[in-house]
Amino acid sequence: MCGRFTLTADLPTLQACFPGVAFPSAYAPRYNIAPGQPILMIEAKQPLAATFALWGFVPAWAKAAPQRHPTGPYINARTETAARKAAFRGAWRNRRCLIPADGFYEWQQEGQARLPWYFCLQERRPFAFAGLWEEWQEIRTCLILTVAANERLRPIHERMPLILFPEEYEEWLWPRPSESPERWLRPFPAERMCGYRVSPRVNRSDVEGEALIEPLQETQGGLFTSLA
Q: How confident is residue 102, by pLDDT bands cut at 50, 70 and 90?
A: very high
Domain boundaries of the chain, sorted by first residue: 5-223
- Respond yes or no: is residue 106 known to be catalytic: yes
Residue range 105-110: mean pLDDT, rounded: 93
Q: How confident is residue 220, by pLDDT bands cut at 50, 70 and 90?
A: very low
22-to-48, 125, 217 alpha-carbon distances in Å? 7, 18, 38
Catalytic residue among 97, 106, 134, 142: 106
Q: How confident is residue 62, by pLDDT bands cut at 50, 70 and 90?
A: confident
Residue range 182-200: mean pLDDT, rounded: 96
60-69 — which CB contacts under 8 Å span 24+ positions? 60/90, 60/134, 60/135, 60/136, 62/136, 65/136
Which is more confidently placed, 129 or 113?
A: 129
Mean pLDDT for the chain?
91
- Respond yes or no: is residue 2 known to be catalytic: yes
pLDDT for residue 222 is more than 90: no
Q: For domain 5-223, is the CATH number 3.30.365.10? A: no
Q: Which helix (H) or strand (E) holds 161?
A: strand 159-161
Residue range 110-131: mean pLDDT, rounded: 95
Which is more confidently placed, 227 or 52?
A: 52
Mind listing the pLDDT tens digit for each residue in 166-180?
999 999 999 999 999
Residue range 45-74: mean pLDDT, rounded: 80
pLDDT for residue 218 is more than 70: no
Mind listing the pLDDT tens digit for each residue in 137-189?
899 999 999 999 999 999 999 999 999 999 999 999 999 999 999 999 999 99
- Portion of the chain with pLDDT greater than 90, in percent: 83
Q: What is the pLDDT of residue 217?
A: 75
Q: What is the pLDDT of residue 66?
A: 55
3-class secondary structure, 98: strand
